Chain A
């Protein structure tokens, strides 16, 4: 079928629009990429001399090194707890009817609406009220609160597409509930568990607002260290760090896309 001229116009203007929006998304990262190789210690565009010194500076700045270590620790512990607690809750929420099922779900999902800065402030005031210091444990608890909704959501999607006939078959053949859970249910839920954990880990690693309220100088995370750096220095060190972030994230996403097909994980197929 031959397309009319107006159809072609519609197609090409649509493509142009999509391209412009993609450029808008990529623009700050392109600029940051160029600026990060700028030799001058003030951010200027376009750069006159090129150098790699900001990359070396990013790796040698003590607060970033400590911040990275703290962020990795908090993200690892926080996302692991979030995954276990969230997956177990998603399981009982999707399978059973019990008295506190709905209120519990509403409270656990509330951080999607309650802003992170409010949760951070609340945790800080709570800790103060019961004389708990601003510790690593408090930071982890806050990270669990803000990442849990994403785990519950991710695992729930997998559970809704789950065919329970397999479990019934295993049960009728005499398998114990634990045996069914570990050898059948968990392997089948693996994609949901992985995507839920990944979301939790990434969100936790990047979490800023809530952490700002509950972290102290000793356990400050990388985003907080970066925020403090911008307030004190104007040089492009952070641009170098941003480039490393962008490259790593895009690489991880591409690998995930090739192996797991992200459309399926995100339910946008």
Chain B
């Protein structure tokens, strides 16, 4: 296999790209179609608002820690947090949250945040979209490891070339 570290880097950038680099084209196509379609369906289902990066008090988007592994398709969310908006101000933006929002609200406040409003508008689809995009990210983690170290094996190890029949 060609340079594993470089392949892992490509796989991190774009699902399947690491396998294209290693000329494992069949797997590249499988990974690309599966992961990108999962991500796209989830993102669309969630009103195109389920992928955003935020770690503010009152809005800790831990789900993004799973989504981020999809690579470039999910990274505009990081740019949004530093006010770089190459795809428009609303693309993967985090919901607005006034400074010290939680400190200002009385305990029995029913004033919703914008994140809560998004969930309200899209109902269960918002959650479903979030889960699908998270799964896409986690699956790409497996793909990155596959690009770096080859297929996972249980029991006796067998070189990749042997399974390919090209040894």
Same assembly: no
